[in-house]
Chain A
Amino acid sequence: MKLTEDTIQKIDEVISRYPDKRSASLMVIHLVQEELGAVDLEASEWIADLLDLQPINIRELITFYPMLRETPWGETHVRVCRTLPCALRGSYATCKKLEEKLHVKEGCVSSDGKHSIEFMECLADCGEGPVVMVGDQTFENIDEGKAAKLAQLILDDKVADTKEFTSYEKAVESIQSSKS
């Protein structure tokens, strides 16, 4: 298993934050998963060793938490909210449209490994549903029609250019720059 120097450093820093090493488990798993896309058996053993735990202590987390993975999602991972408030505004149709356009079923990764879709439980943005996340970015009010457009942006690799998602960090940056 190979991790970059940067990740190793971040891991060391994260462990130092807690009074008890084991508490760092989730954060270390996140860091490893961010780099490798998933935490397989080898990675679990490595993390366990680092935190003076047994591999099962890491495996039991990866098999429990929905966002921890033993195999990677696609290069672009799309999360669609499934829960009632979003469903009342059409999230099932949104998910179907995305499946159709990206040629991949929810819960699966496309055969070329490029795309994957996950039907998620409430993403805590219910007032702007249907809510869709592409990677780390949140897109709001994605009805069936907008889902088709969003899928096209994903296929064209142009999601980063669109202004249609909510990014508080970026919104803040733009205020700062326009002021100075």
Chain B
Amino acid sequence: MISKKIPKERRVILKNADNPSYSNKITCYIKEGGYDVLKKSIKKKPEEIGEEVLKSGVRGRGGAGFPTGMKWKFLDRKSGKPIYLICNADESEPGTFKDRQIIHKDPHQLIEGMMISAYAIQAKQAFIYIRAEFFEGAKILNRAIAEAKAKGFCGENILGSGYSCDLVVHRGAGAYICGEETGLIESLEGKRPNPRIKPPYFPAVLGLYQCPTIVNNVETLCNVKHIMEMGGETFSKIGKPNNTGTRIWCVSGQVKNPGYFEFECGALTLGEMIYDVCGGLLPGRTLQAVIPGGSSAKILRADERFKGTHKDGTDFDWGIEDIPLDFDGPMAAGTMSGSGGIVVMDDTVDMVEAMANINAFYAHESCGQCTPCREGSLWMKKISSRMCSGDAREEDADLLLSVANQIEGRTICAFGEAAAWPTQSFVKKFRKDFLKKAKTQKRKKDSLQLI
């Protein structure tokens, strides 16, 4: 067999983050050309920036993958109300730890990206909503903002342009639902983070204080800086059509070398990521399953095949290791790239316990305003935990499916799907394990305790 080349990372956003001589102070950032793009951009018309972002084809990195330029276009500018920009730094999807790297190691890149974006949408004020567990991250951001203010990069009259925009760090308090953009907005208003129903509450029309608001992920806003640096056209050539730019993938679970890696979209497959980039599985283990986009994404079984036809008419027939790592690849395989959190499970894992672990997460995090989600997530947790404590029944698999199916599509926010998809996919793809559990009532021999 020809020996394979290990795919090479293309670091755009994480270019400097792990350089040992790089620090998160402003002096270091400026030395690397930092804030030059802001200086350039603030001389342009705000609409021109929006055009470049639209041209770049960049899609949101927070989970849904919605085109950012399009989202900005939806802004209701006619209302005359103030416009707000919010950076979603809640990073709480299990398996995701990319925003952490940017916030802690290169905060000025985020601030520059945000100020360019704020100017582009003519925001009156900008917020960074950061999860409270990032104690140090919040401190780093506050210090960085003070540094940037002192140099005129944010706050009053930015770089003498006459445009002013204050940047405020707002800490959450440990609730996953604050990552959902309308839940986040409620939280930022000082209320319980109960998500709002869309329509009518699309943030771009009725967001913070019922004013037009743009919510974007940390990585997305950093991309804006690079789009303005290289131009939307050039950016759109990175990666693949409809999957432009780089993405930071976070690999966790049972691989030799977990970590975060930045690649051009579609530059490598899931197999290359697991075996070449992450060094493969632990000695003597084989692959059992992968969750490709954070715990909400549907699980993939190692021996599945994925067949279908692309939008351009070409056919595909993939094994799990052939799935391209971009937005559309995992989607074609019936799941999603979500927040880029790839969780790898080897053959030792007890799949019923793994599902019980995930169900416990969703039961804990449901905001509780929709009955199907509040009750359903709790019941899925109760049933799957019971299955792992010696009381599994043969009919539990179908019972779980029936609960999950009653959540999907019946809730105010997408948390309902996020809670239902794991159960639906685990039960469908690992039904044998669920039936076996009912027979033996035991944890799989070498599996770690997972619930």
- What residues of chain A have their CB less than 8 Å away from a CB belonging to chain B? 17-20, 22-27, 29-30, 51, 53, 57, 60-61, 64-68, 79, 82-85, 87-90, 92-93, 120-129, 133, 136, 138, 167-169, 172, 175-176, 179
Contact = CB atoms under 8 A, between A and B. Distances in A.
B376 interface: no
B295 A84 contact: yes
**Which of A30, A79, A129, A168: most chain B Cβ within 10 A?**
A168
Given A22-B190, A88-B349, A124 B174 contact: no
Contacts of B360: 82
B252 A85 contact: yes
B242 interface: no
5 contacts: A23-B189, A26-B187, A65-B173, A83-B361, A172-B25
B173 A84 contact: no
Closest 7 CB pairs of A and B: A67-B174, A65-B173, A25-B190, A85-B252, A126-B252, A22-B190, A66-B174
Interface string B106-141: 000000000000000000010000011111110110
A85 B253 contact: yes
Given A57-B190, A92-B448, A83 B21 contact: no
Nearest to A58: B190
B259 interface: yes
A87 B189 contact: no
Interface string B240-283: 00000000001111100011100000000000000000000000
A122 to B, nearest CB: 4
A159 to B, nearest CB: 15
Nearest to B173: A65
Interface stretch (B40-48, B93-101, B225-233, B317-325): B93-101
A73 to B, nearest CB: 13
Given A84-B357, A87-B448, A124-B131, A169 B136 contact: yes
Contacts of A29: 173
Given A64-B175, A83-B94, A167 B168 contact: no
A85 B193 contact: no
Contact of B190 (A24, A121, A128): A24
B448 A168 contact: no
Contacts of B450: 84, 87-88, 92
**Which of A23, A64, A84, A168: most chain B Cβ within 10 A?**
A84
A124 B98 CA distance: 8
B171 A27 contact: yes
Contacts of B8: none
A124 B24 contact: no
Nearest to B27: A176
B338 interface: no
Interface of B: 20-21, 23-25, 82, 91-97, 99-100, 104-105, 125, 131-137, 139-140, 166, 168, 170-176, 187-193, 209, 250-254, 258-260, 291, 295, 341, 343, 345, 349, 354, 357-358, 360-361, 364-365, 448-451
A65 B295 contact: no
A121 B381 CA distance: 14
A53 B237 CA distance: 52
A122 B100 contact: no
Contacts of A89: 253-254, 448
Contacts of A65: 172-175
B29 to A, nearest CB: 12
Given A65-B173, A67-B174, A127-B258, A168 B250 contact: no
B30 to A, nearest CB: 15
Given A93-B448, A127-B259, 8 more contacts: A23-B188, A66-B174, A84-B94, A88-B448, A125-B97, A126-B94, A169-B140, A172-B23
B375 to A, nearest CB: 18
A17 B166 contact: yes
Given A57-B190, A123-B133, A126-B252, A26 B23 contact: no
Nearest to B295: A84
A167 B140 CA distance: 11
A125 B193 CA distance: 24
**Which of A57, A67, A68, A124: most chain B Cβ within 10 A?**
A124
A133 B176 CA distance: 18
A121 B176 contact: yes
A64 B174 CA distance: 10
A168 B189 CA distance: 30
Contact of B193 (A64, A93, A176, A179): A64
Contact of A127 (B93, B252, B295): B252
A83 B25 CA distance: 33
Contacts of A87: 357, 448-451
B448 A20 contact: no
A124 B133 contact: yes
Contact of B96 (A30, A51, A126, A136): A126
B97 A84 contact: no
Contacts of B365: 121
Contacts of A22: 189-191
Contacts of A176: 23, 25
B133 to A, nearest CB: 5
Contact of A124 (B96, B191, B192): B96
Contacts of A68: 173-174
Contacts of A175: 20-21, 23
Contact of A23 (B131, B175, B190, B448): B190
A18 B167 CA distance: 10
Nearest to B177: A64
A126 B92 CA distance: 11
A123 B259 CA distance: 15
Contacts of A79: 133
A101 to B, nearest CB: 18
